[in-house]
A and B are shown apart, each in its own frame.
Chain A
Amino acid sequence: MTISQADGADVPGAPQHRLEVDRLSKTFGPARVLRDIQLTVAPGELHGMVGQNGCGKSTLVKILTGVYTPDPGGSIVVDGRRLRTPVQPMEQREVGVSVVHQNLGLVDDHTVWENVRLGRYQARGPFRKINGRAERDSVAAVLARLGRAIDVNAPAGTLGAEDRATIAIARAMQDHRPGGGLIIFDESTRALGKAARGRFFELVRSLIDGGTSVLLISHQLEEIVEATDRVTVLRDGQVVETGIPTKDTDEAGLTRLMLGRHLVTHSRVNSHAREGIAASVRGLSAGQVRGLDLSVKRGEIVGLTGLMGSGFEEVAEALGGARRAESGELTVGAATLSLSARRASTEHFVRAGVGYVPERRLDEGLAAELTMAENMTLPRVRSMGSPLRTGGAWQAEEARAMIAKLDIKPPRPDAPVSTLSGGNQQKVVLAKWLAGKPNLLVLREPTQAVDVGARHDIIDAIREAAKDGCGVLIASIDAADLAVLCDRVLVFRNGAVTGELSGELNQDDIIHATFGSPREEERWAG
């Protein structure tokens, strides 16, 4: 543990790290969201960081930028200098740690130089006037270092994605002494197209070659594998692997590390699929998916998977009634729903017996301040109750049955959802739809960020729904889930189904089908 200031920084040739995070933990109330995080980034290194939603990546970034105070005991050392916690913005700037956020943090109707210099304006003279020329010159100099000619007077909103990314990078690195500093890219490549992304990485490469370090946080495993030198994997708030050389791994390997080997491995059970169609989709176009046809038998469990952004997520969202597709219709039971209606209302989906378990449970699935029972019964409160009375008996019965079926803890229907653990919240989202005996259940990442016991209960409940004749669609990157649950799995790539696996599934086959096919050459072409 290099702690003293003198170490490293002043001793030439001493082994030193640009960033050294040691035993960093963060607790929110009863929940420990980060546990003993260990991470080192070398000077001039492009270090990747991956993990599922809720694994603690963004919490770590927020600690590094001073938004959150870490638990006592951990340390953050930059170039041998131990930072005080919570991290002070001025100190953070001094040591040269900066973050480029997901949306780049640009104000569209302000000019390039105003955006870059935001928070750093130098006021001069008796009227404290901003010296526009000096500001513009300094911005132009930074942009020149990045090797890009952008009009510093142009409003940021008029620029293309690439230039915008460049501005955000310019802002991040303007205080760095050449060859120093650390830039954290927090999902900042999301908004970039393929070609722009290629040039973005050229730019990042040139920073790295100059000695700056980069921590790249991304969901896009392919860019992590293509671009980074080493990679750190987080899972459930812990470091699973830190600093493994990227050349020793691949996307499939990283996925395995992100998801982990689940302790409870269900054996596959016989399929519950039977005669009769639970739901059929015709001509679905959403995002990059074009003209997808799909039918799910009663009792059948169909998996949808692929790389992130390959289109399987959009299919689930459209079929769950969460997003409007460009075209397509869904037939469930006797009802035929347009997937592209301008005034499409999720109400029609609910009435037709479609249940949708979204990916982000607290944003889309549950109202945290209301109770477990209220959340569970919401979709049916109008159809089961009379206009004058929600009716207590059926709600109590549903809550009781679902608490028993999914083993929800604590078994108190009147507990506010915010007081439940993540796994139990996920059970409540599932219960909300299972209690209505759906015809079609659409699930996104149903076991994401839940503990082992909860995963067990959730898998059992999904199977039971299928046994009762419900058609189930599971959109997930979790090959282990898909392998134990699904009767068949559709693998998406670039918006099309490129593979279908059925029969005896195992997770390696699914991972292989997802990542294994030949690489396109044009990926980083630019």
Chain B
Amino acid sequence: MTDAARQEQRVTPPVAPAGTPRLAVDVRHIASRYAVIGVWAIMVLIYSLAEPGIFFTHSTFTSIFTGQYALVFMTMALLCTIIIGEFVDLSVPAVFGFAATIWPVLVTNHHWGTVPAVLVAIVAAVACGAVNGLLVVVLGVNTIVVTLGMGTLLTGLALWISSLNTVVLQPTGFEKIGTFTVGGLYISFYYGIALVLVFAYVLAYTPLGRHMRFVGASREVSRLSGVRVNRIRFGSYVMAGLISGVGAVITVATLGSYNAESSNSYLLPVFAAVFLGTAIIQPGRFNPIGTWIGVYFLYTGILGLEDLGLQQWVSDVFYGGALVVAVTISTLLRRRTT
């Protein structure tokens, strides 16, 4: 048999024709990346025509770009875990709201100094993330159940410590970290941009980001390649807590008060923006810059409708509708890429 095997000719492998077709950067490719941005522009145009002198003004511009920093922080916190394949962290707005309540309560009701109160708020948010991580990653409890329960629990605690009131902070100068104005916009807006850019950089250019994306794509492949999967998963929950905590501090500094009841109203917009983000810049993939655009896209739509005279319910309809549409688009895009 060896002889027979030896007699068989060694055949060179069939060589594919030279110059295999390159994936040209075709029109469709660009369209799928930037379609939402195009829709954004069209939306602005339509509103401007429909509401001459009202929509396309400086005040609309500032109101769009000053208001949404809290949402930017929360979406980035959600991205931390959703990128590594943890299905949904429903507790993000509640962790945010918890931290945002602790600080003014400690300062106003218990006469703490600003710095210790701020630190306690951030540490509390990080601890909430760590507990989520412990339950989900270490003990393997279902993510939705843990974070839904955790979210409700924290909102309840926040309502309790604030006695169901909006707690107002007296100006001490610390609020400048949020209210300082640059180019007509609160500096909080720029913090959001900085966070988004850093996050995008980490994902695109650092070993940590590469590991995160692989864990999100396949835990087993990552494990067998030497990635410490559970450490990354746990770390993502902690990081989500940290971003929520810091975001809460900046938000309260900017607003000067916080009402614990408002946390829940953030849940839907956070999810709508994160899923809409998968249709922007990197189609089919959760990504920070796309999410950031999603946040402002959605708010532009709502503001325009409100300017048209529609009532408050518009935001529920818009965010809810956008979430369903965004998830559908994201599902379709993922199906196409895998």
Contacts and interface: CB of A to CB of B under 8 A. Distances in A.
Interface residues of B, number: 37
Interface in B1-24: 1-2, 5-6, 8, 10-14, 16, 20-23
Given A266-B10, A351-B226, A390-B206, A381 B211 contact: yes
B234 interface: no
Given A267-B6, A390-B206, A412-B22, A453 B13 contact: yes
Contacts, number: 117
B223 interface: yes
Interface stretch (A82-90, A217-225, A500-508): A500-508
B182 interface: no
B221 interface: yes
A416 B337 contact: yes
B13 A452 contact: yes
A264 interface: yes
Contacts of A349: 226
B6 A265 contact: yes
B313 interface: no
Interface residue tally on A, bucketed by range? 35 or more
A368 B205 CA distance: 20
Nearest to B204: A390
A303 to B, nearest CB: 16
A370 interface: yes
Interface in A315-359: 320-322, 345-347, 349-351, 356, 358
Contacts of A347: 226-228
What is the interface of chain B mostly: helix, strand, loop, or mixed? loop
Interface stretch (B119-127, B212-220, B293-301): B212-220
A432 B214 CA distance: 14
B210 interface: yes
A415 B217 CA distance: 16
A381 B210 contact: yes
B172 interface: no
Contacts of B59: none
A382 B211 contact: yes
Contacts of B1: 506-508
- Indicate the member of B6, B22, B227 with the most A CB atoms within 10 Å: B227
B225 interface: yes
Nearest to B14: A453
A265 B8 contact: yes
A10 to B, nearest CB: 46
A155 interface: no
Nearest to A423: B13
Contacts of B5: 265, 267, 483-484, 506-507
Nearest to A389: B205
Contacts of B6: 265, 267
Contact of B225 (A265, A350, A508): A350
9 contacts: A264-B10, A346-B223, A363-B220, A364-B224, A365-B221, A367-B218, A369-B338, A381-B207, A507-B1
Interface of B: 1-2, 5-6, 8, 10-14, 16, 20-23, 205-208, 210-211, 213-214, 217-218, 220-228, 284, 337-338
Interface of A: 263-267, 320-322, 345-347, 349-351, 356, 358, 363-370, 374, 378-379, 381-382, 385, 387-390, 407, 409-412, 415-416, 418, 432, 452-454, 456-457, 483-484, 504, 506-508
Given A378-B214, A407-B13, A412-B23, 19 more contacts: A263-B8, A264-B10, A363-B220, A364-B224, A365-B221, A366-B221, A367-B221, A374-B213, A378-B225, A379-B225, A379-B226, A387-B208, A409-B16, A415-B23, A418-B338, A432-B225, A454-B13, A456-B11, A506-B2
